[in-house]
Amino acid sequence: RACSLAVEHLRAMGIRAALFRAISLYPFPSAALREAAGRAATVLVAELSAGQMIEDVRLALGGGRHVEFLGRTGGMMIPAEEIVERACAIREPAGGCHV
Number of structural domains found in the chain: 1
Provide the domain limits for residue 86.
Answer: 2-94
Domain assignment present for residue 55? The answer is yes
pTM for the predicted model, two decimal places: 0.85
Q: Under a CB-based contact definition with an 8 Å cutoff, are residues 37 and 43 in contact?
A: yes
For 49-55, which contacts have Cβ atoms below 8 Å and span 24 or more sequence positions? 49/73, 53/25
Domain assignment present for residue 64? The answer is yes
User: How far is it, in rounded angstroms, from Cα 50 to Cα 10?
Assistant: 25
pLDDT in tens, 30-65: 999 999 998 898 999 999 999 999 999 999 999 888
Domain assignment present for residue 99? The answer is no
Domain assignment present for residue 22? The answer is yes
Q: Under a CB-based contact definition with an 8 Å cutoff, are residues 96 and 68 in contact?
A: no
Integer CA distances (angstroms), 90 to 32, 47, 86, 87, 95, in order:
24, 17, 6, 5, 10
pLDDT in tens, 66-86: 999 999 998 889 999 999 999
